[in-house]
Structures are given as structure tokens and as C-alpha cells.
């Protein structure tokens, strides 16, 4: 009886530790509360991640956040005229192909695009997701998301 108690006592600590590790891994894998990891940042920092000096000329109402734990993604939202958006995309990301087939987007958008940067941005981004929702008149609400995953 004493030998069994001793063996259980010796095994209890490693088993408790393994249980705690398993609990942490499962909690991390099932945690989809990304908003808890969202933090506001300057738009200059967010745009620098994608090798841009700031939001495009003519942009207004810019709001920028960073999210992520191991990987980084910025979320840059701004309003801009359609003409200014087209001009900016043509000069900053000429390889960006926009499409109206945005079925994979979690948002209601009018056009979207994705671009893998080659070479990667010096600021850290390896790719960019962009969605556009056309508003009244000539205004577009843009979600520019550079990422490094």
C-alpha cells in the first residue's frame, strides 16, 4: 500500500504539469477572440510595416490597429475617393488585382484584392489584403491589411 501511494505521489506532479500544458495549448488553439489582442497604433507605424510612408494622399478618417501574437497583422481603415485609391494602388502596388468575387471575405465588400510582396517589405509585411466598400458618391471605405504570416 505504501509503495502504491509513493508511486502515485511521484507521478502526480508530472501528470499535473502535462495537464496544465495541454490546457494552455487547447485554450490558445481555440481562442478566436482576436479583438482582445487588438491595439490601436499610429497609422504611420502601420503603413511603414508595408513600406509606405503613410496613408495615401487624399485619405481621411484613418484608424489603425495591430493584432496578433506570433504573427502580425495591421488593420488600416480609411476613406478615399475612388480616383485617389486607383492612383495610389497603381503606384504603390501595381501587381494588386482587384476583383468583385469576394466570397471569402467576412465583410460585405464591393471589391477585394490580395498581394504577396516580392520582395517582402523591409517593414516586415509579406502580403497585403485589401477590401473596398463603395459609399455614397465617389467615396470608398478601404480596409488595408498588411501581414507577415
The reply to whether the predicted model has a pTM over 0.75 is no
In a structure prediction context, what are the per-residue pLDDT tens digits for the chain, which is 149 residues long? Answer: 666 665 556 665 665 565 555 555 445 555 555 445 889 999 999 999 999 999 999 999 999 999 987 889 999 999 999 999 999 999 999 999 999 998 776 678 999 999 999 999 999 999 999 999 999 899 999 999 999 98
Q: Which residue has the cell 497585403?
A: 128
Amino acid at each position: 500500500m505504501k509503495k502504491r501511494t509513493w508511486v502515485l505521489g511521484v507521478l502526480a506532479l508530472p501528470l499535473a504539469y502535462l495537464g496544465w500544458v495541454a490546457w494552455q495549448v487547447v485554450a490558445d488553439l481555440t481562442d478566436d477572440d482576436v479583438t482582445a489582442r487588438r491595439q490601436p497604433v499610429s497609422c504611420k507605424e502601420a503603413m511603414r510595416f508595408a513600406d509606405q510612408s503613410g496613408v495615401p494622399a487624399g485619405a481621411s478618417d484613418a484608424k489603425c490597429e495591430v493584432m496578433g501574437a506570433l504573427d502580425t497583422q495591421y488593420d488600416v481603415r480609411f476613406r478615399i475617393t475612388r480616383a485617389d485609391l486607383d492612383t495610389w494602388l497603381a503606384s504603390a502596388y501595381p501587381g494588386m488585382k482587384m476583383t468583385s468575387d469576394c466570397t471569402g471575405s467576412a465583410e460585405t465588400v464591393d471589391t477585394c484584392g490580395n498581394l504577396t510582396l516580392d520582395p517582402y517589405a523591409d517593414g516586415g509585411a509579406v502580403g497585403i489584403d485589401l477590401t473596398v466598400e463603395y459609399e455614397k458618391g465617389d467615396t470608398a471605405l478601404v480596409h488595408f491589411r498588411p501581414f507577415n504570416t
